[in-house]
Amino acid sequence: MCGITALLLSNPEIMASVELFEGLQMLQHRGQDAAGIVTCGYKGRLYQCKGNGMVRDVFNQENLQRLVGGLGVGHVRYPTAGSSSNSEAQPFYVNSPYGIVLAHNGNLVNAEELKNSLDVKAHRHINTDSDSELLLNIFADNLQQTGKFRIYEEDIFTAIKGLYEQCIGGYACVAMIAGFGIIGFRDPHGIRPICYGIRRSHEGFDFMFSSESVVLDALGFTEIKDIDPGEAVIVTRQAITRRKLVHWGELTPCIFEYVYFARPDSVINGISVYRSRLEMGEHLANQVIKECGKNLDIDVVIPVPDTSRVAALQLSHKLKIAYREGFIKNRYVGRTFIMPGQQMRRKSVRRKLNAMALEFADKNVLIVDDSIVRGTTSKEIVQMARDAGAKKVYFASCAPPVRCPNVYGIDMPSRRELVAFNRDNDSIAKELGADMVIYQDLNDLIASCQKFNPHITSFDCSVFDGQYVTGGVTDEYLAHLEKDRSDLAKSSRESLHSPDTIGLHNFLHTSSQSYFERNGWSGVKGVNGVNGSN
């Protein structure tokens, strides 16, 4: 899962980099592996700064000031396809045709086929394992086929329509064409979120795309709308043009956005994330009663901060059981679910959370979490509760059992790494060390979201039911995906990109400071004017 944003200011003399930076900070929960910004300045000159780490680590006042221009694209990343090397930090850039920058959230299921096609037919070299570079080059190749010296909105719509016909998967993209404007588009099923808003300024109107509405709200943008499935929106300083390019898709948003990924103060596809989580708590309370009976031997409800707080509060209200904050969170440790590597996730749990014994000692506790994926975090949390003196530990999940890989951009691909794989609830409880595990019913989860937008008739629930709305997900593909994305495979790839191995990736792709400058070569400025990437 990633966070994307793009901004066009009506006054080209004002730097877009500051608000892009602020936007990425508000999307930090969507990816903590890498961050990047590319801006466009005078005469279409591009400037970039990107690298591994949190937003605050990649950017400082000096390099933000060197990101010149009144329009730009930003990205925060956690790895699904590809590795965690600097070379995979986005946005990506290609100089031909026209100078195009693209950032992407999601995943393609026909990536290998597309990569071969680009090589054989378009003669385009793909330098990373990132789907984002594939999307960029497909878009660029489709534009190049116009053969025009200058392009217009109609040419861009034609190129994106071709991309929709070529690419299978879930994706939301923002792009920038040097000296032209910014673009947002979304896959024909609307699996990944993207919205946009307008802000009045002294010179006219500013325009912004974002993965979540919270960014637009905080920066003063109004008239916020979601991009429809199969739609593209093109923004220049002269006009805003939107068009639905394919009509065969149906809005099927990823339900895990509401369970875990999105901030509670966001509204996605017309659904308040906060209100949907309240409703999840209501339904989960009913499930607790169903499985435990009305005479509950639960003394206290304790959430796992932060995502499950809203649901846990509503559950405690429904059950008339005290709600307590038993875990104190260290906010300077990243989200464990999106950390690459099982060993790193396990080590981070106790660094991230501390159990207060006074809320656990001699009590039967019901711990509420948003979901149970690999079980690494949950197992450590149960043990922490016992170490703090809990007599019994019940564990409730706002989501159903996660038993299937996700192919649309969430890093939970290997079935054997999922704690619910080939296990029933009793076996899962035993694995976690809990007295009982209680899961949300899938129909109740869907109802929790659908209540606030009845026009959405279906959601992508593939991690729960194994139904992939895009098609093209074969057993062979899943086997390849699991092999490629297991923790073992990722750790092997990370060793290839260690600091001891400079390699071609580190030579071609630079972050905050160019490779050449770091090694004492002259002639290349610090935050790259993007002159030869890809």
- Cα–Cα distance measured from residue 505 to residue 142, given in angstroms and rounded to the nearest whole number: 26
φ/ψ of 316, rounded to 5, equals -65, -35
Q: Which residues are known binding-site members?
A: 307, 369-370
- Cα–Cα distance measured from residue 336 to residue 181, given in angstroms and rounded to the nearest whole number: 37
Catalytic residue (choose from 2, 49, 404, 461): 2
Residue 485: its pLDDT value, please?
65
User: Of the residues 252, 284, 315, which one is the last residue of a structural domain?
Assistant: 252
Tally of domains in the chain? 2
- Cα–Cα distance measured from residue 97 to residue 137, given in angstroms and rounded to the nearest whole number: 10
Residue type, 70: G
Calculate the dihedral angle through the C-alpha atoms of 269, 270, 272, 275, rounding to the nearest 10 degrees: -120
Please say if the pLDDT value at position 532 is more than 80: no
User: Of the residues 435, 468, 501, which one is the last residue of a structural domain?
Assistant: 468
> Is 343 part of any domain?
yes
Please say if the pLDDT value at position 198 is more than 70: yes
Please say if the pLDDT value at position 164 is more than 90: yes
Neighbours of 231 (CB within 10 A): 21
pLDDT, tens digit (0-9, with 9 covering 90-100), for 474-516 = 988 988 888 876 655 555 545 544 444 333 333 334 333 433 3
> Is 263 part of any domain?
no
Residue 413: its pLDDT value, please?
56
Distance from chain centroid for Cα 404: 18
Residue 2: its pLDDT value, please?
95
Residue 397: its pLDDT value, please?
98
pLDDT, tens digit (0-9, with 9 covering 90-100), for 224-253 = 999 999 999 999 999 999 999 999 889 999
Residue 488: its pLDDT value, please?
53
Q: Which helix (H) or strand (E) holds 95?
A: none
> Is 183 part of any domain?
yes
Residue 344: its pLDDT value, please?
56
pLDDT band at 84 (very low <50, low <70, confident <90, very high): low
Considering the domain architecture, whether residues 217 and 298 belong to the same structural domain is answered as: no
Residue 45: its pLDDT value, please?
97
Q: Where residue 423 sits, what CATH number does that domain have?
A: 3.40.50.2020
Considering the domain architecture, whether residues 158 and 22 belong to the same structural domain is answered as: yes
- Cα–Cα distance measured from residue 448 to residue 259, given in angstroms and rounded to the nearest whole number: 10
> Is 493 part of any domain?
no
Mean pLDDT, rounded, for 16-23: 98
Residue 347: its pLDDT value, please?
60
Residue 80: its pLDDT value, please?
59
Question: What is each CA distance from 210 to 31, 198, 256, in whole angstroms?
Answer: 14, 12, 18
Considering the domain architecture, whether residues 281 and 246 belong to the same structural domain is answered as: no
Residue 66: its pLDDT value, please?
97
What are 36's strand-pairing partners? 50, 75
> Is 212 part of any domain?
yes
- Cα–Cα distance measured from residue 189 to residue 227, given in angstroms and rounded to the nearest whole number: 11
Considering the domain architecture, whether residues 328 and 409 belong to the same structural domain is answered as: yes
Mean of per-residue pLDDT scores for the chain: 89
Residues 6+ apart with CB under 8 A from 420: 372, 401, 402, 403, 428
Please say if the pLDDT value at position 526 is more than 60: no
> Is 504 part of any domain?
no
Residue 207: its pLDDT value, please?
98
Q: Which residues are known binding-site members for Mg(2+)?
A: 307, 369-370
- Selection from 380, 479, 396 nearest residue 435 by Cα: 396
Residue 504: its pLDDT value, please?
36
Residue numbers of the domain that contains 30 = 3-108+125-252
The highest-confidence range among 335-339, 369-373, 509-513, by mean pLDDT, is: 369-373
Residues 6+ apart with CB under 8 A from 388: 326, 355, 356, 357, 359, 360, 361
> Is 511 part of any domain?
no
Q: Where residue 104 sits, what CATH number does that domain have?
A: 3.60.20.10
Considering the domain architecture, whether residues 238 and 300 belong to the same structural domain is answered as: no
DSSP character string of 132-199: HHHHHHHHHHHHHTT--SS--HHHHHHHHHHHHHH--EEEEEEEEETTTEEEEEE-TT--S--EEEEE
Mean pLDDT, rounded, for 194-219: 97
Q: Which helix (H) or strand (E) holds 22?
A: helix 17-26
Distance from chain centroid for Cα 248: 25
- Cα–Cα distance measured from residue 68 to residue 45, given in angstroms and rounded to the nearest whole number: 9
> Is 505 part of any domain?
no
Percent of the chain past pLDDT 70, that is, above it, reads: 86
Distance from chain centroid for Cα 125: 26
Considering the domain architecture, whether residues 307 and 433 belong to the same structural domain is answered as: yes
User: Of the residues 201, 218, 252, which one is the last residue of a structural domain?
Assistant: 252
Helix orientation angle between 425-432 and 376-387, rounded to the nearest 10 degrees: 60
Least confident interval from 301-310, 379-388, 397-406, 478-487: 478-487
Question: What is each CA distance from 43 to 40, 46, 68, 175, 322, in whole angstroms?
Answer: 8, 9, 11, 18, 62
Please say if the pLDDT value at position 260 is more than 90: yes
Mean pLDDT, rounded, for 401-405: 94
- Cα–Cα distance measured from residue 487 to residue 256, given in angstroms and rounded to the nearest whole number: 21
φ/ψ of 150, rounded to 5, equals -125, 145
Considering the domain architecture, whether residues 290 and 241 belong to the same structural domain is answered as: no
Considering the domain architecture, whether residues 232 and 283 belong to the same structural domain is answered as: no
Query: Is the distance from CB of 186 to CB of 126 less than 8 angstroms?
Result: no
Considering the domain architecture, whether residues 130 and 21 belong to the same structural domain is answered as: yes
Please say if the pLDDT value at position 186 is more than 60: yes
Least confident interval from 46-55, 378-387, 427-436, 485-494: 485-494
Considering the domain architecture, whether residues 25 and 157 belong to the same structural domain is answered as: yes
Considering the domain architecture, whether residues 339 and 225 belong to the same structural domain is answered as: no
- Selection from 401, 376, 379, 394 nearest residue 259 by Cα: 401
Residue 352: its pLDDT value, please?
86
Buried b (16+ CB within 10 A) or exposed e, 235-272: bbbeeebbbebeeebebbbbbbbbbbbbbbebbbbebb
Neighbours of 519 (CB within 10 A): 9
Active site residue 292: no
Residue 121: its pLDDT value, please?
93
Query: Is the distance from CB of 213 to CB of 234 less than 8 angstroms?
Result: no
Query: Is the distance from CB of 375 to CB of 395 less than 8 angstroms?
Result: no
Least confident interval from 262-276, 285-299, 334-348, 449-463: 334-348
Please say if the pLDDT value at position 392 is more than 90: yes
Residue 78: its pLDDT value, please?
81
Considering the domain architecture, whether residues 389 and 456 belong to the same structural domain is answered as: yes
Please say if the pLDDT value at position 527 is more than 60: no
